[in-house]
Amino acid sequence: MIDMTRHIEAKSDQLNADDLGPARRIIEITRVTENEGDQPISIYYKGGEGRPWKPSKGMRRCLTFIWGTNAEDYVGRAVEVYNDPSVTWGGAEVGGIRVSRASHISEPITFPLPISRTKRIPFTVHPLPAPQRKRTPEEMVDAYIGALADLKSLDDLLEYQTDERRLKWIEQLKEARPELHGRVVEAQSKRAAELSGPSDGGDPAKNDGEDDDQFPGGAE
């Protein structure tokens, strides 16, 4: 008996239109490779678990139109993809992955997308905010210390330091990166001293001696 099951399943080694369903998905590109066969380009992305997106010829043209022909430039960029059920193959509507938005463009870009040998349709790709790189612990500490410098009073400092999320982050930092935790504690103490101002004991104008009411030189 010939079991047809394995012949109708979508390829599990790549992202398929059916995987998307009605949802849209943003993929951040980590690597682009060249392959043999009908799907010559594999685009790997964060969270893809090794299952690349292999764009159709139309979407390969789309990417080169908006980003240029050097695929190495695509790394670190992102596209929003969706399942377009109107995509045809062999004259039948089977659905396919298309791009709706892309990072690293400042305005919508429209180009003629071939849908057959003789027909082209206007296809528009809209801007997508560029992927945000996760800050390193060092960068987060620098940002925290920089924010301390902007605080104007001890009350502001107290409110800033006792924020629940910041307290949790500092506690985690103490365990994972004690040297960075030390920088934070030192910066907190320094800013508290700055906001407190000079101590009264060092101000000669506030000396409680018996001659407080006399002018220098004994003027009567």
Average pLDDT, the chain: 83
Digit-coded pLDDT (tens) for 166-185: 999 999 999 999 999 999 99
Digit-coded pLDDT (tens) for 49-76: 889 999 999 999 999 999 999 999 999 9
18 and 116 housed in the same domain: yes
Tell me what pLDDT residue 214 has.
Answer: 36
Please determine, for residue 10, whether its predicted confidence score (pLDDT) is greater than 60. no
8-state DSSP, 53:
B
Residue 151 lies in a domain: yes
Residue 80 lies in a domain: yes
- How many structural domains are present in the chain? 2
Six-digit token string for 19: 């995987």
Question: Which backbone phi and psi does 161 adopt, to 5 degrees?
Answer: -75, -25
Please determine, for residue 45, whether its predicted confidence score (pLDDT) is greater than 90. yes
Six-digit token string for 217: 């030189």
141 and 177 housed in the same domain: yes
142 and 175 housed in the same domain: yes
In the chain, the percentage of residues whose pLDDT exceeds 90 is: 54
Confidence of residue 136 (pLDDT cuts 50, 70, 90): confident
189 and 91 housed in the same domain: no
114 and 188 housed in the same domain: no
Residue 205 lies in a domain: no
116 and 28 housed in the same domain: yes
Residue 215 lies in a domain: no
Measured between alpha carbons, how far apart are the two ends of the chain, in Å? 123
Closest CA to 56 of 96, 27, 85, 103: 96
Q: Evaluate if pTM is beyond 0.85.
A: no
Confidence of residue 90 (pLDDT cuts 50, 70, 90): low
40 and 84 housed in the same domain: yes
75 and 94 housed in the same domain: yes
Residue 52 lies in a domain: yes
33 and 123 housed in the same domain: yes
More confident residue, 217 or 129: 129
Residue 4 lies in a domain: no
More confident residue, 209 or 133: 133
Residue 5 lies in a domain: no
104 and 17 housed in the same domain: yes
Q: Which long-range contacts (CB under 8 A, 24 or more apart) does 198-207 make?
A: none
Given 96, 127, 158, the domain boundary residue is 127
Domain hosting residue 157, numbered range: 137-198
Q: What is Dmax (Cα atoms) for the chain? A: 123
